Amino acid sequence: MPLDHRLTPEHEELRRTVEQFAHDVVAPAIGDLYERHEFPYGIVAEMGRMGLFGLPFPEEYGGMGGDFLALGIALEELARVDSSVAITLEAGVSLGAMPLYRFGTEEQKRRWLPKLCSGEMLGAFGLTEPEGGSDAGGTRTTAVRDEAAGEWVINGSKCFITNAGTDITGLVTVTAVTGRTPEGKPLISSIIIPSGTPGFTVAPAYSKVGWNASDTRELAFDGVRVPLANLVGEEGRGYAQFLRILDEGRIAISALATGLAQGCVDESVAYARQRHAFGRPIGANQSIQFKIADMEMRAHMARVGWRDAASRLVLGEPFKKQAALAKLYSSTVAVDNARDATQIHGGYGFMNEYPVARMWRDSKILEIGEGTSEVQRMLIARELGLTG
């Protein structure tokens, strides 16, 4: 059914507030943090005070009582300026807190969500493994019941986990094999591991191409023991749970990618107006005008895509296909716009002091994280009834 993507007054007020915050607070500070590979603790704390980490959660758990569309709006506006800050929010909400809200017990929600919603604490989601990225069903991390002690004993490792090793990380929810079906297929469950649990090792931060002011780590579990009550949702339903979480997360990543694409337009328009060559602004050249017009077209259509998927989610309608479409298209658009913005800037686009250089470095991961472009095509084909 056709959906109205115009923002409500409340959503528009949020958009303007985050836009102003991104330009006034994030933009002046993020360049130095990015080059030093430093996590933006001060910015994150201010985002917490603004309520951004609690946007889609009910007030009874410390949230703002908003919806997923509100989260996407905030992510887009942040990513117009910087993606490291945006992915910190996206992962903290979609991957850190959302599994507990969707599938956790009432005790788990009341224990963890208030601090996650306030930004005082970050949560992470441990899914990807060194030998299991797109093939998440190939999980090798195990969790074995010790009934006498009332504990899970967890062994294994995870990689590429966002927000896993900051000073304010409080927990990681990990997927682990907790049994087998009669046919021998793994039963995957989700289990909370609080930071600092003995046997839980957080590796040094990765040296990355982009997202350099965000936190990404490898995790290892060697005989980690946590209470049986740390199980999130039903035992053996972890696979189905994370599929739902990833469907929602793809909408959030699409909003982030749209923001990066729009940021490339913003920077290119400004540069084309002030940069002169052969006696006039380069923006007077039709070749530059057409390139920027194409960039704006892509960003606009990406926005339509993620808002359509988010609106369906909010209305309780099926949204899996729309989320995959939005994620596939917007991530492609982000890469295309970052490339074109760099070209418009010429040699300056290759200098890290210019935001488009950061956007170029940050764009490629959007075609990989939370489901590669190939996985999105596979999901779309399946939703169209194509199997095998």
Give the residue numbers annotated as catalytic, written as ranges: 370
CB atoms within 10 A of CB 156: 21
Helices (H), the chain: 9-21, 27-35, 41-50, 68-79, 83-90, 98-103, 106-118, 238-274, 286-315, 320-345, 355-363, 373-383
Please state, in angstroms and rounded to a whole number, the distance separating the CA atoms of residues 296 and 314.
27
CA 178 to chain centre: 27
Q: Which residues contact 93 (CB under 8 A, 6 or more apart)?
A: 53, 55, 56, 71, 252
**Alpha-carbon separation of residue 184 from 54, 176, 177, 179, 307 (angstroms):** 40, 15, 12, 9, 41
Q: What does the alpha-carbon distance between residue 251 and residue 265 come to, in Å, rounded to a whole number?
A: 21
The size of the chain, in residues, is 388
Residue 58 has φ and ψ, to the nearest 5°, of -65, 155
Contact 172, 97 (CB under 8 A): no
| Tokens at 323, concatenated | 């989320």
What residues does 124 pair with on adjacent strands? 172
User: Is the separation of the CB atoms in 105 and 85 below 8 Å?
Assistant: no
Does residue 253 contact residue 245 with C-beta atoms inside 8 Å? no
Six token digits for residue 105: 């017990």
Q: Which of 223, 239, 237, 199 is nearest to 143 (CA)?
A: 223
